[in-house]
Structure 1
Amino acid sequence: MYIAQAFKIKHNWWRYLVGLFIVFIGWQTIGVVPLMVVAFFEAGDLQTFLKASTDSFMSLGINSNLFLVLIIFSFAMGLAGIWFSNRFLHEQKFSKLTTSRAKVDWSRIWFSFFLVIIINAILFAISYVTEPEIYQLNFKLVPFILLLLIALFLLPLQTSFEEYLFRGYLMQGIGVIVKNKWVPLLITSVIFGLLHGLNPEVEKLGYIIMVYYIGTGFLLGIMTLMDEGMELALGFHAANNILAAVLVTTSWSALQTDAIFIDTSEPTAGLTVIVPMLIQYPIFLLILAKKYKWSGWKDKLFGKVQPENIVIEDNQ
Structure 2
Amino acid sequence: MFRTPAFEAFIAPARHYPQIWRILLGILVAFLVYIGPILAIFVLVGMFFPGIVYQVELALSSTETPQAMFILLLTFFFMGLGAVAAAGVHRRGLASLIGPFRPACRNFSRAVLGVGAIFLTAGLIVSLVMADDPVSNLPLAAWLAYLPLALPLLLVQTGAEELLFRGYLMQALAARFKSAIIWMGVPTVLFGLAHFNAAIDPKLTALLIGATGLFGLVAADLTRITGNLGAATGFHFINNFFALFLVSIQGEMSGLSLYTAPFTMEDVDTLIPLIIVDMVTVVLAWAVLRRWLNPA
1:49-88 deviations in Å (ceiling 9; x for gaps): 7xx8xxx9334xx8722212221222101211222332x3
Which whole-Å CA distance do the structure 2 matches of 1:92 and 1:206 have between them? 37
In structure 1, the residue matched to 2:259 is: 261
Q: What is the TM-score when the length of structure 2 is the normalising length?
A: 0.81
Displacement of 1:40 after TM fit? 6.2
- What runs of 5+ residues in structure 2 fail to find an aligned partner? 1-7
SS state of the match for residue 135, structure 2? Answer: strand
Spell out, residue by residue over 1:132-157, the C-alpha distance to the aligned partner (whole angstroms, 9 max, x if none). 62411223245423432233111111
Structure 1 equivalent of residue 108 of structure 2: 109
Match of 1:90 in 2: 90
Superposition pairs for residues 227-238 of structure 1, below 5 Å? 227-238=226-237
Cα distance, 1:294 vs structure 2: 5.5
Of 137-146 and 12-21, more deviation after overlay is shown by 137-146
Q: Where do residues 159-198 of structure 1 align in structure 2 (5 Å cutoff)?
A: 159-198=158-197
Residue deviations 1:168-215 (CA, integer Å, cap 9, x gap)? 111011122223333111111111000101375666934222221111
From 1, 13, 21, the equivalent of 2:20 is 13
Deviation at 1:103, TM superposition (A): 5.0
C-alpha deviations, 1:198-236, integer Å up to 9, x for none?
375666934222221111111111111122222110100
Q: How far, CA to CA, are the matches of 2:216 and 2:50 in structure 1?
A: 35
Q: Distance in 2 between matches of 1:42 and 1:143?
A: 25
Q: Is the aligned partner of 1:77 residue 2:78?
A: yes
Counterpart-to-counterpart distance in 2, 1:242 and 1:128: 17
Cα 1:153/1:102, change in 2 over 3 Å: closer
Aligned in 2, Cα 1:3/1:183: closer, same or farther, shift over 3 Å? farther
Quote the residue 1:310 is aligned against: none
**CA distance in structure 2 between the aligned counterparts of 1:167 and 1:216, rounded to whole angstroms:** 12
More deviation, 155-164/27-36: 27-36
User: CA–CA distance in 2 between the matches of 1:248 and 1:33?
Assistant: 34
Letter paired with 2:104? D
Secondary structure, counterpart of 2:194 in structure 1 = helix
Give runs of aligned pairs for residues 243-258 of structure 1, distance below 5 A: 243-253=242-252, 255-258=253-256
Residues 8-32 of structure 1: per-residue CA shift (max 9 Å, x gap): 4333222222222222122122135
2:60 — aligned with what?
Answer: 57
1:41 paired with 2:51, answer yes
Q: 1:22 aligns with which of 19, 29, 34?
A: 29
Give the direction of change, closer, same or farther, for the CA distance of 1:15–1:115 in structure 2 (3 Å limit): same
- More displaced, 185-194 or 266-275? 266-275
What is the aligned partner in structure 2 of residue 286 from structure 1? 287
SS for the counterpart of 2:291 is helix
Matches within 5 A, 1:113-192: 113-131=112-130, 133-141=132-140, 143-192=142-191
Query: How many angstroms does 1:43 deviate by?
Result: 8.2
Q: Which residue of 1 aligns with 2:276?
A: 274
What are the Cα deviations for residues 256-288 of structure 1, in whole angstroms up to 9, with x where unaligned? 2242212122353422332233x3233223222
Alignment-mate amino acid for residue 94 of structure 1? L
Question: Residue type matched to 2:241 in 1?
Answer: I
Indicate how the Cα distance of structure 1 residues 102 and 293 shifts in structure 2: closer, same or farther if over 3 A, else same.
Answer: same
